């Protein structure tokens, strides 16, 4: 019996590690050009319909002053922002679908020019998409005040 205790502890630790890993990853993975794979939560039918909303190639975009400032500082073009929005990889953990002033969604992807890993906060409005801000997830840029 005493010989079995270390093996039992190893098995328990292994099961706990698998459980923690599964919780952190959220299940499904998708590939990206730079890192190979990135964790993402599983989508539902509603999530799929939401992603389709952003795939409208004829949509009109409104860039806030703050978003334009961040884009300039981080060398990200409007074309790159539109490409990422149209890919619509939604990070629901960073989104606010029930925000008091209207829903905001965090869309993530890689820029086509230099493969920057970015998060774009988008507020879908009745007739356009408002780009609230653009964040580089890999590099901490020293931008001036973008208020």
**Residue 65 belongs to some domain of the structure:** yes
Q: Is residue 95 part of a domain?
A: yes
Q: How many domains does the chain have?
A: 1
> For 26, how many CA atoms within 13 A lie in the half-sphere containing its CB?
11
Burial 96-118, CB ≥16 within 10 A → b, else e: eeeeeeeebbbbbbbbeeeebbb
Residue 38 lies in a domain: no
Q: What is the pLDDT of residue 23?
A: 60
Quote the domain boundaries for residue 77.
45-136
* pLDDT value for 46: 55
Sequence-ordered list of residues with C-beta below 8 angstroms from that of 111, at least 6 positions apart, any chain:
76, 80, 83, 84, 118
Domain for residue 35, yes or no? no
The Cα-based distances of 86 to 28, 56, 83, 136 in angstroms read 21, 7, 5, 18
The reported pTM is 0.66
Question: Would 50 be classed as within a structural domain?
Answer: yes
Residue 25, beta-bridge partner list: none
Residues in the chain where the model's pLDDT stays below 50: 25-45
pLDDT value for 40: 39
- 56-92 confidence digits (pLDDT tens): 778 899 999 999 999 998 889 999 999 999 987 899 9
CATH of the domain at 57: 3.30.2310
> Is residue 96 in a domain?
yes
Q: How far apart are CA 134 and CA 118, in angstroms?
A: 7
């Amino acid at each position: 019996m005493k010989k079995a205790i270390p093996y039992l502890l190893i098995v328990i630790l292994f099961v706990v590690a698998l459980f923690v890993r599964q919780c952190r990853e959220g299940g499904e993975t998708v590939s990206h050009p730079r890192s190979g794979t990135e964790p993402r939560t599983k989508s539902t039918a509603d999530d799929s319909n939401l992603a389709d909303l952003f795939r409208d190639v004829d949509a009109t975009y409104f860039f806030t002053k703050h978003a334009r400032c961040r884009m300039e500082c981080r060398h990200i073009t409007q074309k790159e922002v539109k490409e990422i929005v149209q890919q619509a990889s939604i990070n629901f953990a960073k989104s606010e679908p029930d925000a008091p002033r209207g829903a905001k969604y965090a869309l993530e992807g890689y820029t086509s020019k230099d493969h920057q890993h970015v998060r774009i906060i988008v507020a879908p409005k009745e007739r356009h998409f408002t780009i609230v801000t653009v964040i580089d997830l890999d590099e901490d840029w020293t931008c001036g005040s973008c208020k």
